[in-house]
Structure 1
Amino acid sequence: MPSGKLYSIADLHIGYAQNKLAWSRLKPHPGDGLILCGDVGDSAEQLRSAFSKATECFDTVWWCPGNHELYTLPNQSGSGTRGVQKYQECIGIAREHNILTPEDDFVVWEGEGGSAVIAPIFTLYDYSFRPDNVSLEGAVPWAREQNIEATDEFLLHPDPHFSRQNWCKVLVEKFETKLEAARKQFPSLPFVIANHWPLREDLVTLKFIPRFSLWCGTKLTDDWHRRFNAIVVVSGHLHIRRTDWRDGCRFEEVSLGYPQQWKKCADMGLGVNELLREILPGPEIIQPGEVPTRWRIFG
């Protein structure tokens, strides 16, 4: 287990040439660990490429899936697997590179920042991030009223589950049980929970596409940071880098995003090495209370 710092980044989307080039310039981090928090790429080839570079540069790497890893693309060659089978295919690729996944035992970090349980999870979403006056059945039509519809509706299949929200429910129950067992196993240790989707609806601020919130998580995980003694919760998906505090827990959104979304950094000569977010030890601990969101361009 690394003895140095723990970093994270999400939404590498290395299918984009500029992102792939940026990731190829990742510098070695001997003694450090890295959490890849989903949406690394859209294909097995992209996953292998990104995983190879990550394990070349970091001593230990964790990965949790995003929606893009689960896509079954129309022009996809090979098996064209869907749903749970596609997820298991991604797990297999991670294990080819000795990368820890949500399907592996949670392990204890002993690096800077003190001991902590590193807990990558996978929850999907259930369309519950919506106003009270919008029904589940009316949720997607409500988003379409503003010309918003996630690509997931066409490429992310829930097989063998009946629906994505049903798959989400199964996943939430699975990882709730796993986190509870780990909390009992390590009652004195704080947790670092990593999930592609935010655990709380109040951390989803989408100024230009607010109704995209439907595809951003589930209300079932709202209190997990308290229940499971989290010191940090890491997520991606939003492509909006931010740091928040809730109940003394630090929430980090660590996306790189599409090339145009980090262009300002690129224009400043900054790349993925500057956009890696330090999770542990991280910034100075904030005392409980109302702390404003810190919107981050990099770091």
Structure 2
Amino acid sequence: MPARRPGGARLMAGRLYAISDLHVGYAENRAFVESLRPDSPSDWLIVAGDVSERVSDIEWTLGLLADRYETVVWVPGNHELWTTPKDPVTLRGEERYRHLVDVCRRLGVLTPEDPYPLWRGEGGPVLIVPLFVLYDYSFRAPGTSTKEESLAVAYEAGVVCTDERFLHPDPYPTRDAWCRARIEETERRLAAKEDGVRTVLVNHYPLVREPTRILRYPEFAQWCGTELTADWHLKYDAAAVIYGHLHIPRVTHHDGVRFEEVSVGYPREWRSWDGPRGPRPVFPGESE
């Protein structure tokens, strides 16, 4: 039952919400973020990547949200990891990621480098697990069997992710090598999880390939995840999996686990949906 304020007014219990792909470099998206307010001061918000390409925009956005929500949990998307001529912060690869982690810690925002927080509200208790795992080109283009073949097909079709220009893997030799290193580190941490504790797995990319099969351009899937996480929702007792990146907001179920893509997307996309979609509850009620 909801708590009551002095005098009898009811207090709404906090809920766990998620959103991604805010892309605040667009004025319309920035205005949308400025309008966001929690329903309760006890609400938590998961931000599943692609806030912006500029560090200053990322800091502004996460700082604003951290002032409004009780707890904010962030994972990086590919756009945060870009090093572009428009950003005065010229750090690349791992150094850029670590810099963003430091920014988050100054703001009180949780990251994949922090202890996993336990959500005890509606749907809990569950361990919130922010992930930073990249992609390794294993979601290959149809008819190909190697990374090289898959990339060649994408280049021939003219469907090439901008990561190939701006997402640098330094000090790793390749993005897939960085992905493998992140997988190993994350599995080491998750192996220490207490048995029987359910999780909410949060990653910018889908952890299974199935959500990418509706992409208009199937060649793009190779920049959308890795086969190495295909069983994580089972292996790590997921009550839900949150992701973004695809700009196709929807809910699917895999092995009985709820997967939700929670992106806002670009203005040209959300205009066709009659406005940007706000944070979605990770544990929706029967009427939602």
Counterpart among 11, 19, 27 of residue 17 in structure 1: 27
Give secondary structure in 2 for the equivalent of 1:205.
helix
Counterpart among 276, 281, 284 of residue 278 in structure 1: 281
Q: What amino acid is the match of 1:101?
A: T
Q: Which runs of 5+ in 1 are unaligned?
A: 285-298
Instruction: Answer whether contact 1:230 1:249 (CA < 8 A) is retained.
Output: yes
Instruction: Answer whether contact 1:16 1:259 (CA < 8 A) is retained.
Output: yes
Q: What amino acid is the match of 1:279?
A: V
Question: For residues 47-105 of structure 1, what are the alpha-carbon distances to aligned partners after superposition, in whole Å with 9 as ceiling and x for unaligned?
Answer: 11111221122100000000000000023324x10000000011011111100000001
Instruction: Answer whether contact 1:134 1:142 (CA < 8 A) is retained.
Output: no
Task: Output the CA distance in 2 between the equivalents of 1:41 and 1:10.
Answer: 11
Instruction: Answer whether contact 2:252 2:258 (CA < 8 A) is retained.
Output: yes
TM-score by length of 1: 0.88
Residues 207-246 of structure 1 mapped to structure 2, 5 A cutoff: 207-246=215-254
TM-score by length of 2: 0.91
Task: Output the CA distance in 2 between the equivalents of 1:118 and 1:132.
Answer: 37
Task: Output the CA distance in 2 between the equivalents of 1:10 and 1:106.
Answer: 19
Identity fraction in percent: 41
Structure 1's consecutive aligned runs of 4 or more residues displaced over 4 angstroms after TM superposition are none
Distance 1:3 1:105, change over 3 A: farther
Q: What amino acid is the match of 1:16?
A: Y
Post-superposition offset of 1:205:
3.0
Instruction: Answer whether contact 2:51 2:58 (CA < 8 A) is retained.
Output: yes
Task: Output the CA distance in 2 between the equivalents of 1:163 and 1:271.
Answer: 35
Task: Output the CA distance in 2 between the equivalents of 1:228 and 1:109.
Answer: 16
Residues 104-119 of structure 1 mapped to structure 2, 5 A cutoff: 104-119=114-129
Instruction: Answer whether contact 1:232 1:279 (CA < 8 A) is retained.
Output: yes
Determine the structure 1 residue equivalent to 2:107.
97
Is residue 128 from structure 1 mapped to residue 135 from structure 2 by the alignment? no
Counterpart among 207, 211, 214 of residue 203 in structure 1: 211
Count of residue pairs brought into register by the alignment: 274
Question: For residues 25-59 of structure 1, what are the alpha-carbon distances to aligned partners after superposition, in whole Å with 9 as ceiling and x for unaligned?
Answer: 11234111000000011111111111122112210
Q: Which runs of 5+ in 2 are unaligned?
A: 1-11
Is residue 36 from structure 1 mapped to residue 47 from structure 2 by the alignment? yes
Give secondary structure in 2 for the equivalent of 1:192.
strand
Instruction: Answer whether contact 2:202 2:243 (CA < 8 A) is retained.
Output: yes
